[in-house]
Amino acid sequence: MYQPPVRRWSVLPLTRFVMLTAILAILAMSMQLASSGVQASGGPAVAADQVSYDPGTTVTLSGSGFDAGSTLTVVLTRPDGSVVTGDGSETPGSDNVVADIEGGFTYLYILPMNISGVYNVDIVDGNGTTLASTFFFDSHYRGGTIKWERAPGGRVVTFTTTVAWIDPEFASRSLTLNFGDSTSAVVSGGATIATGAGYVVVRNVIVHDYGIAGDGPFTAYYQSDARIAGVENADGSFSATSVVDMRFGNDGSPVSGVPVVVPFVQGGLNTFALPAADPQGDPFTYRLGTAAEALGPTPVTGSNYSTPSVGGNTLSINSAGLMSWNTAGTTVDQLWTVHAVIEETSNSSTTDVDFFVKIVDGTLNTPPTAVVDDVSTAFTLSVGVPFSVDVIGSDADGDNLTINHLGLPSGASLSPVATTVGSEPFTGTFSWTPSSGDIGSTNVVTISFTDPSSVSAFASFTVTVPLNQTLTVTKAGTGTGTVISTPSGISCGGTCAFAFAPGAAVTLDAISASGSTLASWSGAGCSGTGSCVVTMDTAKSVTATFDLPSADLAITKTATPTIALTDQNFTYTLTATNNGPATATTVVISDPLPAGVTFVSANVDCAEASGTVTCTVASLVSGASAAFDIIVTAPSTAGTISNTATVSAASSADSVSGNNSVTLNTSVNSPPPVPGVTAWGMGALALMLGAGAIFMRRRRATAS
């Protein structure tokens, strides 16, 4: 039987047919999507590959969820308001991109070196509608601090901002310093005081008068939004604050010399003492700052800060300023931001410091060390007096070291100069002769020594030039005169107080007025009658005593009779004598009468009251005397009475006080008794009288 042949299809041509059909379908769908505007799934979005970037680096923007094949405009607005292309030419305008088949795109932008802050990105369609947005930071800030000092006698405050930028091009970067009294000032330019690996330190000085706003406290701060990229625990905004509290006589905030970067060795416990000082010597403490303090009052979206911590090991700062951290779990070359606050304990004044901890490898390299070659690390200097101190860097590995500093006071020097490389031990000498413009300042000087592995050691010390110190002169005594100073300033006379440069040696000389003499100096270690030399290391007071020539009054006393009889009158005679050389005026003799003695009478210049007799003389010239008689009745009882009289004058102190009083002891006796007549006496008297009568009769008889 005939059977027709079976038709067999080749598998390979069939497979090719199916694949070709699928490809054509996909192409058709793509063309339809492109022509009809159908949106790919997921919704439009754009994002940068990082939140923040260093200046000059490339930003990669990735888009997704847009219409496949659609033309989009990338509008990138810089912090200064200009709109730029993404090809690095920084030409104003914007770029177009075309979404791929999946609705995505990639856009590259090269950051400039000199425009930092928040960059805003908008993706706009052909109708001008913004479909997606994002932002990123061009960062440049490495750290900083603020200090303030008040000028004497008012509310004028000098602020000093110290800011570390990532590149010298940011030395002219501006910040707004808010004074805390609803006013502010733009801070820009400034002096570059230090440079290092990846940073430049700029210092600005701003003067502000709080005036009627009062003594505070005021929260002064600066804030911006460009902390450098690559920090493990912080991004976006940054801030530094100083609380200005002029109450209770406070004249300034604590100051700090914390380095821009503090190296901590990876894998173990590290410690570092934060250097700080207070211009007035007020006590202060340290603590870690909060996120709010590190970011400022108005941080931009996406900003963050947290205390450095890895694997349960968290960085800490105790009240004495010792920073400690077990860096187990960290990685070499990591950067961590630390925000610390230094607070005075007697008022509300504070100073923030913002700096980095960098993790370094200490296994193959022993970190260097640095010490101040002196028993002290706090020095008080005088205007015009040269000062120097050595700082020594050492390296156990024997490596050469590079010397540097974090900023020096104006006019100070470091020898050898910063960035000099030398063998260890490496000695650097800080030298400074303060000028009058440095009076009232306190600076924390930090010297660093860095080994070839970029690991640094730091040594810090403070130099203070105290405020002018006031010397006050007071005149005392009965005389008068003028006190003058060398150097000039006091002529007392009229000007009896003057503020001299701290540490100045001031010589005081007295010029006595006619008839007066300098009796003595007292106070501030002065004595005698020569020149008084005072060292003005603090406010001091001196008294100059001028005296007129004095009189020497003496008093004597006698009693008449020298032995008194009970109930009988007798006389005290008091004699006041002026032995000179000066005339004594308003001379007073005072004689409190002894108990039992009764006042009878005295001279007209004397008066008795309550048993005390007081006699006065208008004046006694040198050599003159005045005598006074006081009649009294002796006590009724025999015995001894003691009477003390004194003399004084209102005109001046007596040059010899030992003869200003006299005591007289007077015996009081009873009168002698009248003889008595007994019976035998009467008989004898009768016989005598009888015998006398007989005798007289016989004579008459004989005569007759």
Residue 1: predicted pLDDT: 40
User: What pLDDT does 473 receive?
Assistant: 93
pLDDT tens profile 644-694 = 999 998 766 677 888 999 999 999 998 887 665 566 666 666 677 777 667
Percentage of residues in the chain having pLDDT higher than 70: 83
The pLDDT score that the predictor gives to residue 674 is 61
Rounded CA-CA distance 595/304 in Å is 95
29-73 per-position pLDDT tens digit? 443 433 333 344 468 999 888 766 766 778 888 999 999 999 888
Spatial CA neighbour of 230 closest among 55, 437, 433:
55
- Which of 46, 64, 50, 40 is closest to 132 using CA atoms? 46
Query: Tens digit of pLDDT for each residue in 538-555?
Result: 889 999 998 877 788 999
> Confidence class of residue 140 from pLDDT cuts 50, 70 and 90?
low
pLDDT confidence bin for 485, thresholds 50/70/90: very high
The number of CA neighbours under 13 Å toward the Cβ of 627 is 8
366-464: which CATH architecture? Sandwich (2.60)
What is the predicted pLDDT for the residue at 29?
Answer: 40
Name the architecture of domain 553-669. Answer: Sandwich (2.60)
pLDDT at 633 exceeding the cut of 90: yes
Instruction: Tally the C-alpha atoms within 13 A of residue 272's C-alpha that lie toward its C-beta.
Output: 29
Distance of CA 360 to the CA centre of its chain: 36
Query: What's the rounded mean pLDDT across residues 411-435?
Result: 92
* pLDDT of amino acid 676: 57
Alpha carbons 605 and 648: distance in angstroms, whole number:
15
Is residue 519 very low, low, confident or very high in pLDDT (cuts 50, 70, 90)?
Answer: confident
**Banded pLDDT at 202 (limits 50, 70, 90):** confident
595-616 as b/e: b if 16+ CB within 10 A: eebebeebeeebebeeeebebe
**Which pLDDT tens digit goes with each residue over 245-301?**
988 878 888 888 788 788 888 988 988 888 888 877 788 999 999 999 988 888 877
pLDDT value at residue 38:
37
pLDDT at 263: 86
Q: Report the CATH architecture of 45-138.
A: Sandwich (2.60)
Q: What is the pLDDT of residues 349-367, one digit of tens each?
A: 889 988 889 888 877 567 8
Domain boundaries, the chain: 45-138, 366-464, 469-547, 553-669
Give the pLDDT score at 114: 59
Please tell me the least confidently modeled range out of 34-38, 149-153, 261-265, 399-403: 34-38
Tens of pLDDT, residues 568-605: 999 999 999 999 888 888 999 999 999 999 999 999 89
Q: What is the pLDDT of residues 306-335, one digit of tens each?
A: 999 999 999 999 998 889 999 999 998 888
Average pLDDT over residues 602-615: 93
Beta bridge mates, 185: 177
Among 362, 374, 359, 382, residue whose Cα is nearest residue 430: 374
What was the pLDDT predicted at 615?
Answer: 95
Domains 45-138 and 553-669 share a fold: yes
Provide the pLDDT confidence category of residue 145 given band limits of 50, 70 and 90.
confident
3 state SS of 57: coil
Per-residue pLDDT, 701? 64
pLDDT at 559: 93
Q: Which of 138-142, 166-170, 248-252 has the lowest mean pLDDT?
A: 166-170
* pLDDT tens readout for residues 69-120: 998 888 888 877 888 755 545 555 678 889 999 999 998 888 775 566 678 8
Q: Confidence class of residue 27 from pLDDT cuts 50, 70 and 90?
A: very low
Q: How far is CA 343 from CA 11, 162, 320, 461, 555, in A?
A: 86, 18, 11, 19, 70
| Predicted pLDDT at 172 | 57
**Over residues 468-481, mean pLDDT:** 88
Number of Cβ within a 10 Å radius of residue 559: 20
Q: Is 19 a residue whose pLDDT tops 70?
A: no
- Tell me, what's the pLDDT at 444? 86
Q: 174: closest CA among 79, 83, 84, 259?
A: 79
DSSP annotation of 32: H
